Structure 1
Amino acid sequence: MTGPTDRPARSEPRSDQGTGPRRPSGERPDRPYADRGGRPARGDDRGPRGGTDRRGGRPPRPAVDLPRHAAYEAVAAVHRDDAYANLVLPAILRDLGLFGRDAAFATELTYGTLRHLGTLDAILSDAAGRDVQRIDPPVRDALRIGAYQLLHTRVPAHAAVSSTVDLVRSVGPGATGFANAVLREVAGRDADAWVAKLAPPVETDPIGHLAVAYSHPQWIVRAFSEALGGDLGETTRLLIEDNERPPVHLCARPGLADPVELADEVGGVPGAFSPYAVYLGGGAPGDLAALAEGRAHVQDEGSQLVADALAAAPLDGPDGRWLDLCAGPGGKAGLLGALAAQRGARLTAVEVSEHRARLVSQATRGLPVTVVHTDGRTVGAGEKLPEGYFDRVLVDAPCTGLGSLRRRPESRWRRQPSDLPPLTRLQRELLAAALKAVRPGGLVAYVTCSPHTVETHVTVTESARRSGVPVDFVDARPLLPAGMPGLGDGPTVQLWPHRHGTDAMFLAVLRRT
């Protein structure tokens, strides 16, 4: 097994390596901080988890160092409340006053634990001698974070065990002995040895082996393998990439920001493929002036490429009426709106959710974009958005999101095969509406952030066949930057994290004849 186990955690705090106590960077002076063994400092009565509560007179509670406490709160919210880590973690870090290395360590623990959850649970079940689902949820989440430290970071074993036991003492006081025993059992093997013990043999069950070794549900591993033509080596590389921490990609809006100048401004580098992409080196993108001023937005490079492909496709006849059929939360609408402004066109952005429609309005402020709050399936069937009206139509269809698991690690454990039938039905209805809304000679781009063949090739071919609208497939490969590797045989394109460094975006372009 290769990958995360071979590298140090980039965000590991010095408190687990140094020769004496140190207040972590960004931590306020009135917070407890960890000693050199990774254990929280004792006796500070002002921390959120430590000391005597003078108002209530309760007995002292054990302190928990703040980065681990933040990671626990985020992981617990994901499992308890069905929250999303990218939404809850920033608020937790802000509330605890964590910045710099401490915030990075908390982020590493949160996302790493969520990515490796399946394998961690298998290991914890074996080490505990019981199914992990039978462990009290707060204790279970603390153990997951502790096991991640033991198996995937360079935090010393004694520090990972002691800090996790302190965490368990604060969330499940009666389970400290149990937690100590389980974690010491986990520490008895490295990640490769645990996989060798628990994973099915690769010779007899390659999908099951990869699922345990790289922490993905079996049905997702199987879907990836099918989309990659059954190549298990390439499937393995994709799974490894899914477990990596992805860089933040920015989109420099054309006409409003130059990507080279934006890269210099934010301390990033221009992207490899999209002419608008900037790879952000670090920091919080929400703090950047370019985003606040509407000159750029956060957007995966793959999303930029598929939106730009629609705008770049050759088109005969008028070219001033564009449509984004599923526009929320507004990333692709922002890029298309900026391109439309340069070409004298106007974009209509349709979004069925009122909240997401407001986000689209905010994301496209100052651009030639009209936001319409309605169901995209009704487009092409009424006076407001009539049939055969638009020149270019984007269908960024709701999907399983299997192409962005590296950015949303909890999604791999929430999605089920039973999600596919209602999603694919919606995808076909939206694409059928788009084919009615586009004029003869106009273009429709069908996009999903999923490589699952049922959501990609099956959906687009079945929709084209059943729509009653005559269409031809346009070869999408020439619409992407020259020299991009691994684009396949066409006419559709599938982007991949391990090939292109993007989310796994699918693109099909159809012309109404």
Structure 2
Amino acid sequence: MTDHRASRPHNPAPRRPGGPGAGRGQDRDGRGGRAPRAGRPPSDPARQAAYEAIAATHRDDAYANLVLPQILRDMRLGGRDAAFATELTYGTLRATGTLDAIIAAAAGREVARIDPPARDALRLGAYQLLHTRVPAHAAVNSTVDLVRAVAPGAAGFANAVMREIAGTDLDAWLTRLAPDYEADPVAHLALVHQHPAWIVRAFSEALGGDLAETARLLVEDNQPPPVHLCARPGLIDPAELADEVGGAPGAFSPYAVYLPGGAPGDVLALAEGRAHVQDEGSQLVASALVAAEVEGEDSRWLDLCAGPGGKAGLLGAFAAQRGARVTAVEVAEHRARLVERSVANLPVTVHAMDGRLVGDDPRLPAGGFDRVLVDAPCTGLGSLRRRPEARWRRRPSDLPPLTRLQRELLGAALRAVRPGGVVAYVTCSPHTVETQVTVTEAARRSDLGVDFVDARTLLPAGMPGLGSGPTVQLWPHRHGTDAMFLAALRRTS
């Protein structure tokens, strides 16, 4: 049997800011915990905040990046407590599948048979035991107290399960539970690296079956992502933005700045609309559309799936420099409003409508645009670092309706662009069905003349790991970006 440790580097347990024992952190005595809205103040606010965020993601299909900040504000948590709650929330959600396997083994029953409140509390407790330096007694006691508050009849059960988990370290649990690597490498990597097997398989296929590189991708996928800022061209120089936030220039995008820490909402340039938060990969694929050559007029641009507005904001800044105008389309009304806020004072017109209506709506005339961006709805498998719960929420059954929509949107984009114009098709997913298959099928089914543009030529010179073209797949472990896919097509007739 191949040792699972050969497929993943040793990562020391994460430490809270300020070192051991700083604030009310990992050396706390573990007392406290309450049910959401139980009517009494939490004696352990960081763990309570984490529990409420985790419970909301499973109970309400909420997104942690949306609910946790609100919970922290409501509980007035900041500093070390907020950092600890964030670590617990994102770490527990990221590791849910593997934690469930360990909890099931320790409990002698499937996690589906455990009452959901107790199950979420056990996940939070198991994460503390296996992935942090929280003392075992604190993790056990705080979890039992939390279960006593949210599922009183399960407190004894929780105590027994937590003590069973505490008796074995993470490496030993993985050695015991992970399938043999030689017999089933995908299942082995899935358990060890905290991803569903179908996603591991999809990543491996996109990487040409290279399991060693797949393991490196999975390791990187489990790291908390940095915050990337985009300096809007013509509105702020990237060096000025880097100086303002104390950050560093991006590795590839000339507009990227890496935020070293703190809340992006505190950055003045963001409040003034001179910059916005955007993954460097998203900056690169949006910039690629503008870098492509078009024949003739170049003043009418279209963002066919614009919400929530990051790429529309970058395109709008480019358009202002070039005397062009952007039409931004977003089918969801609330997301269209987000786009409007993102593009304020830029030459962008926002319409809340279905982007597939090209030619049927006078606002989207067939052949009426010189450049078109299709940032298509997708599974989001390329941004699992930022949405830790998404890996366990997505299913293979999500693919057929999404790929059908992607083909329809790309077909609409090809109708919208004039002959000689360019379409950029983008997804935040490396799944080949959403990338290569969708592009190939849409081009094949179109009765318009379409040629591929080598997307590698539209990205900064010298970028490594771009493959053989004509499409490009970016990767967290190769480029430090989300796993963005880019295809560029020119309409010829």
- Which structure ranks higher in relative contact order (CA pairs < 8 Å, sequence separation ≥ 6)? 2
Asked if 2 retains the 8 angstrom alpha-carbon contact of 1:249 and 1:301, the reply is: yes
3-state SS in 1 of match to 2:319: helix
Please give the alpha-carbon distance, in whole angstroms, between the structure 1 residues aligned to 2:180 and 2:420.
53
Asked if 2 retains the 8 angstrom alpha-carbon contact of 1:12 and 1:155, the reply is: no
Match of 1:450 among 429, 439, 458: 429
- The alignment status of 1:203 with 2:190, answered yes or no, reads no
Superposed, 1:238-253 pairs within 5 Å as: 238-253=217-232
- The alignment status of 1:39 with 2:30, answered yes or no, reads yes
Structure 2 length normalisation: TM-score?
0.95
What is the match of residue 296 of structure 1? 275
Please give the alpha-carbon distance, in whole angstroms, between the structure 2 residues aligned to 1:411 and 1:304.
22
Please give the alpha-carbon distance, in whole angstroms, between the structure 1 residues aligned to 2:132 and 2:34.
26
Counterpart of 1:489 in structure 2: which amino acid? S
Asked if 2 retains the 8 angstrom alpha-carbon contact of 1:64 and 1:167, the reply is: no
Asked if 2 retains the 8 angstrom alpha-carbon contact of 1:493 and 1:506, the reply is: yes
Extract unaligned runs of 5+ from structure 2: none
Please give the alpha-carbon distance, in whole angstroms, between the structure 2 residues aligned to 1:78 and 1:127.
24
Query: Deviations for 1:182-210, whole angstroms, at most 9, x for unmatched residues?
Result: 11111122211111111110001011111
Asked if 2 retains the 8 angstrom alpha-carbon contact of 1:494 and 1:504, the reply is: yes
Match of 1:507 among 475, 486, 492: 486
Post-superposition shift, 1:279? 0.8
3-state SS in 2 of match to 1:209: helix
What is the match of residue 257 of structure 2? 278
Asked if 1 retains the 8 angstrom alpha-carbon contact of 2:329 and 2:354, the reply is: yes
Match of 1:232 among 200, 204, 211: 211
Match of 2:114 among 102, 110, 135: 135
Post-superposition shift, 1:173? 2.1
Asked if 2 retains the 8 angstrom alpha-carbon contact of 1:337 and 1:368, the reply is: yes
Query: Deviations for 1:100-125, whole angstroms, at most 9, x for unmatched residues?
Result: 11111100000000000000000000
Counterpart of 1:401 in structure 2: which amino acid? G
Post-superposition shift, 1:177? 1.9
Asked if 2 retains the 8 angstrom alpha-carbon contact of 1:322 and 1:345, the reply is: yes
RMSD over aligned CA atoms reads: 2.0
Please give the alpha-carbon distance, in whole angstroms, between the structure 2 residues aligned to 1:261 and 1:10.
32
Distance 1:4 1:365, change over 3 A: farther
Distance 1:469 1:168, change over 3 A: same
- The alignment status of 1:17 with 2:21, answered yes or no, reads yes
- The alignment status of 1:411 with 2:411, answered yes or no, reads no
Please give the alpha-carbon distance, in whole angstroms, between the structure 2 residues aligned to 1:276 and 1:140.
44
Extract unaligned runs of 5+ from structure 1: 25-33, 42-46, 54-60
- The alignment status of 1:269 with 2:259, answered yes or no, reads no
Distance 1:4 1:191, change over 3 A: farther
Post-superposition shift, 1:221? 0.7
What is the match of residue 346 of structure 2? 367
Query: Deviations for 1:407-432, whole angstroms, at most 9, x for unmatched residues?
Result: 00111111111111110010000000
Counterpart of 1:17 in structure 2: which amino acid? G
Structure 1 length normalisation: TM-score?
0.91
Match of 2:356 among 366, 377, 383: 377
Distance 1:289 1:115, change over 3 A: same
3-state SS in 1 of match to 2:435: helix
Query: Deviations for 1:16-39, whole angstroms, at most 9, x for unmatched residues?
Result: 737xxx6x4xxxxxxxxx795432
What is the match of residue 133 of structure 2? 154
Asked if 2 retains the 8 angstrom alpha-carbon contact of 1:428 and 1:463, the reply is: yes
Superposed, 1:113-512 pairs within 5 Å as: 113-512=92-491
3-state SS in 2 of match to 1:279: strand
3-state SS in 2 of match to 1:90: helix
Please give the alpha-carbon distance, in whole angstroms, between the structure 1 residues aligned to 2:41 and 2:229.
42
What is the match of residue 64 of structure 2? 85
More moved, 281-290 vs 395-404: 281-290
Please give the alpha-carbon distance, in whole angstroms, between the structure 1 residues aligned to 2:372 and 2:488.
10
Q: How many residues align?
A: 486
Post-superposition shift, 1:287? 2.4
Counterpart of 1:308 in structure 2: which amino acid? S
Post-superposition shift, 1:64? 4.0
Asked if 1 retains the 8 angstrom alpha-carbon contact of 2:121 and 2:146, the reply is: yes
Match of 2:13 among 8, 23, 31: 8
Please give the alpha-carbon distance, in whole angstroms, between the structure 2 residues aligned to 1:303 and 1:6.
29
Asked if 1 retains the 8 angstrom alpha-carbon contact of 2:380 and 2:429, the reply is: yes
Asked if 1 retains the 8 angstrom alpha-carbon contact of 2:26 and 2:133, the reply is: no
3-state SS in 1 of match to 2:295: coil
Please give the alpha-carbon distance, in whole angstroms, between the structure 2 residues aligned to 1:290 and 1:37.
38
Query: Deviations for 1:251-300, whole angstroms, at most 9, x for unmatched residues?
Result: 11111111111111112211111111111111111222211110111111
Distance 1:35 1:79, change over 3 A: closer
Post-superposition shift, 1:11? 2.6
Counterpart of 1:174 in structure 2: which amino acid? G
Aligned residues with identical type, % of pairs: 75
3-state SS in 2 of match to 1:254: coil
Query: Deviations for 1:125-168, whole angstroms, at most 9, x for unmatched residues?
Result: 00001101111111111110111111111112122112212222
Asked if 2 retains the 8 angstrom alpha-carbon contact of 1:39 and 1:163, the reply is: yes
3-state SS in 2 of match to 1:182: helix
Asked if 1 retains the 8 angstrom alpha-carbon contact of 2:278 and 2:310, the reply is: yes
Asked if 1 retains the 8 angstrom alpha-carbon contact of 2:27 and 2:135, the reply is: no
Please give the alpha-carbon distance, in whole angstroms, between the structure 2 residues aligned to 1:375 and 1:189.
53
Asked if 1 retains the 8 angstrom alpha-carbon contact of 2:471 and 2:485, the reply is: yes
Asked if 1 retains the 8 angstrom alpha-carbon contact of 2:174 and 2:191, the reply is: yes
Distance 1:456 1:6, change over 3 A: same
Post-superposition shift, 1:12? 6.2
What is the match of residue 30 of structure 1? none
